[in-house]
Amino acid sequence: MWGALFPGQGSQSVGMGRFLFEEFASARALFEEASDAVSVNFKKLCFEGPAEDLQLTENTQPALLLVSSVSAKVVSDLVPVKLDGAAGHSIGEYAALVHAGVIPFADGIRSVKRRGQAMQRAVPVGEGAMCAVMGLSDENVKKLCRLVESQSGEKPLEPANFNSPGQVVVSGSLKAIDWMRANVKAEWVAEHLGADAGRAKLIPLAVSAPFHCSLMKPAEQEMSLVLNEIVFSTPSFAVVQNLTAEASKDPTIIRDRLIGQISGPVLWTQCQQALIEKGCNKFVELGAGKVLAGLAKKIAGDRANVWGLNSIEDLKALEAATKEA
């Protein structure tokens, strides 16, 4: 059974989607529709950059949705893949819902442009941050956040992305993260989390805002107004959502979870596991890069094979895989 994975912020790169644009008229049509929807030249932004412009959250989010939608359109037109389920990482969830027919494409582009703007406005620059915590269990990362809040006196610090076993991103106050990076050493971990907790490696992320934490509540309120203006439809296949790692056929539930996702954690490990439990053992990563393919290997091991779509050769390999099946 096949599942689709739609990447999130951090997967973008200058040049993404170019081969699809050059080879397929359907791709060019979606680029034009997206550009008209928000008055952005996505051909220039995605293919020429500069990288600094592409990395602006309000540009990154619609550009990723566009490239994922183009990838999904080309695959659905050319490759006989019947999807049994899908999930998208953060902004990728919008792409999954667009492909499942829940949200119209142009409405999706407009809404994620607003989402990026709202998330950037929610927290003044320099007050929030995100940091990857490597080597600890999910439960120990939760404990770590509570302890840092208590000992530093700074809040919030919350798990934001459960990306794979041993890789969790935390988000919140820059002061709390600075305290954590200065104080959470091997001895601290052993004393407060236990001698068998493992070694914590902390990697600060180059992001413009503390996504997926309670500091994003203002953006969540703004996006509630935006998304409630869009007509949501019943999905054509199961989309496992970040907030609960569950799928629903109810458009109202889907909308509510999409709104709550802005300040809630991305349960990506659980989403990937849910798709496997539904019987999906072959996945295509629809969009830029191959981040989710790497995470799938860490989460599922040999229970899942993942095909990317970053070149014509990748498309041919996917076609060959479907024929073999």
Q: Which pLDDT band holds residue 207 (cuts at 50, 70, 90)?
A: confident
The conformation of residue 314, written as its DSSP 8-state character, comes to H
Q: Among 193, 211, 205, 195, which residue's Cα sits nearest to residue 167?
A: 205
Tell me, yes or no, if the two domains 2-122+214-324 and 128-204 fold the same way: no
Task: Tell me the mean pLDDT in the region 115-129.
Answer: 94
Distance CA 180, CA 157 (A): 10
Write phi, then psi, for 164 (nearest 5 degrees).
-170, 165
Task: Tell me the mean pLDDT in the region 265-278.
Answer: 97
Q: 140-165 pLDDT, tens per residue? A: 999 999 999 999 999 999 999 999 99
Task: Tell me the mean pLDDT in the region 109-131.
Answer: 95
Q: Which residue do the tokens 């305290």 mark?
A: 179
Q: Give me the CATH topology for the region 2-122+214-324.
A: Malonyl-Coenzyme A Acyl Carrier Protein; domain 2 (3.40.366)
Task: Tell me the mean pLDDT in the region 69-77.
Answer: 96
300 to 38, 135, 268, 306: CA distances (angstroms): 38, 18, 12, 11
Domain boundaries, the chain: 2-122+214-324, 128-204
DSSP assignment string, 44-109:
HHHHH--HHHHTSHHHHHHHHHHHHHHHHHHHHHHS---EEEEEESTTHHHHHHHHTTSS-HHHHH
Q: Which helix (H) or strand (E) holds 131?
A: strand 128-134
Distance CA 177, CA 154 (A): 9
What pLDDT score does 75 carry?
96
SS3 273: helix
Indicate whether 243 pLDDT > 70.
yes
Distance CA 267, CA 260 (A): 13
Q: Which helix (H) or strand (E) holds 142?
A: helix 138-152
Residue 43 exposure: Cα atoms within 13 Å on the Cβ side:
11
Active site residue 90: yes
What pLDDT score does 325 carry?
57
Name the catalytic one among 68, 69, 71, 90: 90
Mean pLDDT over the full length of the chain: 96
**Is there a contact between 158 and 128 (Cβ–Cβ < 8 Å)?**
no
Distance CA 134, CA 199 (A): 8
Name the catalytic one among 71, 89, 111, 212: 212
What pLDDT score does 206 carry?
86
SS3 284: strand
Q: Give me the CATH topology for the region 128-204.
A: Alpha-Beta Plaits (3.30.70)
Indicate whether 324 pLDDT > 90.
no
Distance CA 161, CA 252 (A): 24
Better-scored residue on pLDDT, 43 or 82: 43
